[in-house]
Structure 1
Amino acid sequence: MVEIDFNSDLGESFGVYRLGSDEAILQHVTSANIACGFHAGDAQTIAATVRAAHRAGVAIGAHPGFPDLQGFGRRTMQLSVDEIYNITVYQVGALKTFAETVGGRLAHVKAHGALYNLAARDRDVSDALCSAVRDIDPGLVFYGLAGSQLVDAARDAGLSVAQEVFADRTYQDDGTLTPRGHPAALITDVDQSVRQVLGMLEEGRVRALSGAWVRV
């Protein structure tokens, strides 16, 4: 028996702008990564999303990203490891407190967008992220791209780690995600998405854009 954690990014509205269908998505997932206000979200959105996730019995996670509202956190920023550590503490600490105010608890952390992709290949960045998470709460689960630097850094920091695979993204030969700027970065065909997930679960591998097989 394989138990699957279906995970989604939520809480991405900001001010008068509404993005996504969070209430509907919460009926179909088991865990949610909630934007912490740097790449998306604001205090009102965070509070509402945390409450909704708690009511739905969905595990609450923090989704820290680069401080880049205009670019939705999808543009790489040149920050020092100290800055990476501190922006992670700032964001995860906020989500942890919001979760506790509704009688819930923060369960996990998953970096967002460009920060996630950078940390997946840069050990210094992934170490800074994982150190921040450990220092906030060593019981938090750290979500990282399967087989990436994020996984190694989390384990070395003493964190429980969930190796994440994607249903709606294509892969490169090195196991990283295809950059969003590529026309084939996203999988929009449901059948193709299902085949990709089943292949990863049953065979432990995914076909990269090049046609090569990548172990996951």
Structure 2
Amino acid sequence: MNIDLNSDLGESLGAWRMGDDAAMLSLVSSANVACGFHAGDPAGILRTLRQAKERGVAIGAHVAYRDLVGFGRRNMDVESADLRADVIYQIGALKGLATAAGTTVRYVKPHGALYNTIAHDERQARDVIAAIREIDASLVLVALAGSPLLGWARDAGLRAVAEAFADRAYTPNGTLVSRREPGAVLHDAEEVAARMLRLASEGVVTAIDGSSVRIEAESVCVHGDSPGAVEMARRVRALLEQSGVAIRSFVDAA
């Protein structure tokens, strides 16, 4: 068995520090790197890319709505032409920085509100899919496990990878519990590790009401900006490897 561990990185902005990229890059197999629209500045992004290159971590473009103030977590009704151009622009910027760092962008994982919106909003989803195809059709799209987006992307000729979240609670129907609800974000590293071992070995997680829900995923995200994120990722990786689950990026398994 093998599974990918990913984290959202490159999100520091100027004097404001977000997460511990260096530590996370020693634990994950894929890095979703901010492109400047919701977080990240060029110097910090370049530093993260160079660290990822040193550790052999796969690079993904963490594209987002143009929303620095809201950290990309505010819903936006962006016109199709603007959304497509914004996604192309972000991927292109990260590709340039990645070239300077001696590495390449291998996949795209939308961030925050954009990620959640295109999981079910077909119009915006097809705009993002079209943008990826226009700039580089070989890029893999990472999307919420069980969402219609996976099918839309595959129908358009993109490889799509289903993703689960280590530190987020699930509803009984397999969707993420809203961050506005109590218990939406999990903080117990031991609990999270045990949940991810069950996901990797059985394809099942325990929902917020205690029921079991089937989640088919090739990649697991540990949010880099969560309190205790590094320790959580360390515990998840350790338990998976102790149980015979190899940590391997989905782009290396293509």
TM range, smaller chain = over 0.9
Structure-1 residue corresponding to 2:68 = 69
On the 8 A contact 2:9/2:32 being kept in 1, the answer is: yes
Structure-1 residue corresponding to 2:201 = 202
Structure-2 residue corresponding to 1:155 = 154
Structure-1 residue corresponding to 2:95 = 96
SS in 2 for 1:72: coil
Q: Offset at 1:187?
A: 0.9
Structure-2 residue corresponding to 1:48 = 47
Structure-2 residue corresponding to 1:139 = 138
Q: Distance in 2 between matches of 1:43 and 1:149?
A: 33
Q: Distance in 2 between matches of 1:56 and 1:131?
A: 31
Q: Offset at 1:61?
A: 0.8
Q: Offset at 1:103?
A: 2.1
Q: 1:32 to 1:51 in 2, by over 3 A?
A: same
TM-score, normalised by the number of residues in structure 2:
0.81
Does residue 188 of structure 1 match 2:200? no
Q: Distance in 2 between matches of 1:70 and 1:119?
A: 21
Which amino acid is the alignment partner of residue 23 of structure 1?
A: A
On the 8 A contact 2:50/2:102 being kept in 1, the answer is: no
Q: Offset at 1:134?
A: 1.6
> C-alpha deviations, 1:50-103, integer Å up to 9, x for none?
111111111111001111111111111121232221211111111111111222
Structure-1 residue corresponding to 2:111 = 112
Unaligned runs of 5+ in 2: 216-254
More contact order relative to length (CA 8 Å, sep ≥ 6): 2
Q: Offset at 1:37?
A: 0.4
SS in 2 for 1:9: strand
Q: Distance in 2 between matches of 1:4 and 1:166?
A: 13
Q: Distance in 1 between matches of 2:79 and 2:214?
A: 32
On the 8 A contact 2:3/2:200 being kept in 1, the answer is: no
SS in 1 for 2:3: coil
Q: Distance in 2 between matches of 1:200 and 1:116?
A: 21
State the number of aligned residues.
215
Q: Offset at 1:210?
A: 3.0
Deviates more, 1:105-114 or 1:175-184: 175-184
Which amino acid is the alignment partner of residue 170 of structure 1?
A: A
Structure-1 residue corresponding to 2:30 = 31
Which amino acid is the alignment partner of residue 82 of structure 2?
A: E
On the 8 A contact 1:73/1:115 being kept in 2, the answer is: yes
Q: Distance in 2 between matches of 1:131 and 1:191?
A: 40
SS in 2 for 1:5: strand
- Identity, % of aligned pairs? 47
Q: Offset at 1:150?
A: 2.1
Deviates more, 1:80-89 or 1:107-116: 80-89
Unaligned runs of 5+ in 1: none
Q: Offset at 1:208?
A: 2.1
On the 8 A contact 1:126/1:149 being kept in 2, the answer is: no
